[in-house]
Structure 1
């Protein structure tokens, strides 16, 4: 035999089912938020690493081109001076022609700090610095001298860096052999390259504080490192373990731990075949990912707060079945919106190169695809044709001030394609500086973030909807559903709050308890629907009887009500209570089961002015008002009785 439909067991099951569904739903939404956040953060981390690799590649290629130019210029200078020396008469002592030529050549090449000509005996004949300093510097040409005397090659050779005795600065000697027509060794030409100039070339790549850029011989000997460390110059690295062996012409990217400082970096190496050198640059992944970690912390905190809000809301939903369905629907809608967000990060960058005037010099294929234009259409155009009109002129003025000063600019920018479609780009603009320190070109590296912008907007709308639902739930808990008055829970909180305030401000606090006379008879005679209507009518009178914002009318339980009157003494509360009695009697609600023939009220009033903190102040005030109400009922009902002010004890006395 099956149990009746209204049995307690079945009712509990019916109530438990939606509660379990609500709990499962809230937990599911929280997990989805966490997983989506983890996915987005993972993709953005990969995006940052890919961007760093591309920036590293561009920086290495830029540095290698500049180093190649400097070395070729130094080659040309030594070749010109060698040709003039080999045509002249030997020995070259006090040769003014060679000295004048060396001075002219060194002036045209700022990176050449010193230019020297050494004869076959190892003595310096021509030195652009001259004087006693030149004599001291001549004693340090032994390494290059020995090599060229033993070798028949006329190619230039780079020697390990050293500190110049003439200038006191660090230089890297680049030497060339001087030969007689019969092949005899006549001496050598040495161009001392300023390491500071080469270091400035490496610094122009702007790869970050933790980056390292070096110039290495193909055999692994370290000739130059930026940041500059004289103690490691000439250090020989294992070419195979460090990724320099069998280096292709286009270069190679790899990860390795630096043998110099022990830091694990992402590296890119580009060879200079003409000089048997390699330009190698590396960035610290920890430094590259530092902005991502800060962003991940912020977004993770936001998601954590959102998940905490969802769980707290779920706990409240367990106590409000009627609100459960409504808020559950809102959460389901939010979940659908979150699932519909297809965030994607473009794994490839868009590259735009402009001159200092803003004219487009070159673009890559992805940039053409995004702008819906051919490369031939874009070359020569002013970059401003791609502006969307979204940003104010001040935005672009600040951008140009930054890059014109030689600094890197990064930010978000809205652009417009040739077909009129606007899209958001995460843009980094790198100025490439010339020897004079001024920008010669600008390279913009862009990533499409339109999907992320749309996702941020949708997430904000979802959080706003959840906050609205939470506010509605709080309102439901704080008010009685039948009368619209404050609930018993809200009354208890207000009573405790007003007692604390009365103690601080030394103001009185009054409480009036209200009871409908013979209300059980009323329900028995007229029925419960009529009883509900009667309660609602009395509640309207209670609301009308209070006129200050701080006063509170609450349904205390069943047919009992309460008026809480802050900053009101017994006399003031008596006037409010008497006005309430008169208003209810004026309603003349029929009550055939009452001796009065109409609905009447019994009121008990108590007031106090606390001077000491007492843990039982609320209970004593309620008891005093309840005693007064009891006296009113015993005295024949339909009246107000003002009770005596309750006596309070200090907290220490109560504890003893």
Structure 2
């Protein structure tokens, strides 16, 4: 009869189990407490992040709109400095003064007040309204404080529009040259702007947004209460905290409705305004409290269940017998078989033959268990998948570890079944219990998801109008190909293409025809490339770009000419492009580099390659459009060539000279002065390019009357149709040694628009602006302004020519 085991081991085992249960319960409680604290912190962080984002969006909108209005006031002040302003007619003077003023739904008229507060100019009325505003705070403060800058008044009701129109005034001081007070420029902003801005916010019932002046006056709040507008809350604790810090966050009780809120506040840029977002503290943590109650209840239930299970398990342990311990060895092998009866369960013997196959094999693989038993798995495994599984089996036998694998098995009817198999090593002999689950449907879903992802990726890199690659795709490809060219020492070329006078095409034929035109041009250009590595993309608007890896300048120029000819061959009617035969054409700029070169030809970045192609494109458009210009082929000679129509051009110029219309004139001096003022340069002049000299017939900031033609900038500018722009003459090979650059007047920046005469369309000369410091190139708006002023100078010359011709006819 076997001796029983000592009885003292059972209580010791129970003590260990009770301690484990206690540790688990303590762990549950600690985990729940940690989770609750994290959830509370998350709720607090989420509320503060939302408040920060809302505060940033509101302050940015308010700062941008008020700054636009401030710039409008400053534009009026700058306009008052023009010396010819008093000589203009009232309507013209109003147009000049208020041309730069912003107009929007909530902005009122801009008034110019003299030192007595009388209205002297009015953006909304000619003649100006008769009124005096010397009693207003926005006028008084400008009179007594020269340093106040932009002043934003307290809310008030305008005299002219009735009691329901609440506004704030924005004013700036007018100062005489001796520093004395000359008056003020003032405009109004309706508080409806702030109300509309705040009404679009999604706030809780007890949340609030407030806008204060720098001295604590309420300008606007949400929820809106008209009775609170204009109230002085500067003595309240919350507003005092706003006033003493640039930005911050704190919790406090509202002085208005006594609700405890979390205040996030900031001063709006440099404006005398303060903005706060106040979230109800109770609402911030409301969801957290509900969740905490649920978690607490669940924790109590979990602890109760754990304690009950612990008691039951302890009793079961006490009733366990020696037979249960003897059966433990076999339980390791067969527990999975009982737990996973719906999956295919296989016992692999050490020789890798199947010792047991569960009945689920009929459903999953179409085989009866006896058809698979005694055979090896690789017989029905996919040949591409099994070597990887076999390697995992060998590794598991060495490390005595379990593993999972996904592979394909051949169904009895021939199709492939995807299975997810979990291999559990059993015993020391190297056998396995394998549980296999059919995941074919999941794999199909994954494949569909991958296909959808690929389609989304394609859409994200394709231009919806032309079907070409979009700007994002081009930027990524340019960066990638630049790195490849640097690594491999290969060449890289870029073509930048712009449809000529496309705005006129849209204006004449409409945007739908414009879209059709762009699609046709895109298809024609794409058909000119044949290599998979070449990329044609829409760069923006009517601009296309071609990226040509491994292509040098000569090859890129050939392809560019092929693309230009293909576009012209479309013969798409374009009556706004009569200079090119009345059909759609394009100008193309070409830039190429060999990144292995030390200097890259002055190009040392992907962005620099785009800039170089853009410069070549502008030169193509300046020289007449419908042509290809290479960056490396742009003019470098110091002496400009003579135009092809030189004799006809000189003959047209003579028509002005014989009538005296080409003589220097005050009216042309004004044009030169206006061009310099509008473009911010120190020099402006109107030149007529003669056979050997250039004559300055209008001047500002320059004493010269004649110069040698070969040394003149204008001899180059007169060759093109668009303005010639030289940001830095010392960096341009044509002008680096020019005497007007090295000596007085030491020109560094130059921009000149040709004076195109109606007599045969010849360029008589150039309207120029220049400066003694290098500057950025002119933008499209500035180039258009310079071209318009050149047309004004031509109109002046033509008017004087016709007037002189009429006088001669009268004398005859």
Quick check: TM above 0.5?
no
- Shorter chain as denominator, the TM-score bin is 0.3 to 0.5
Which is bigger in relative contact order (C-alpha 8 A, separation at least 6)? 1
TM-score by structure 2 length? Answer: 0.33
Which structure would you say has the larger Rg? 1
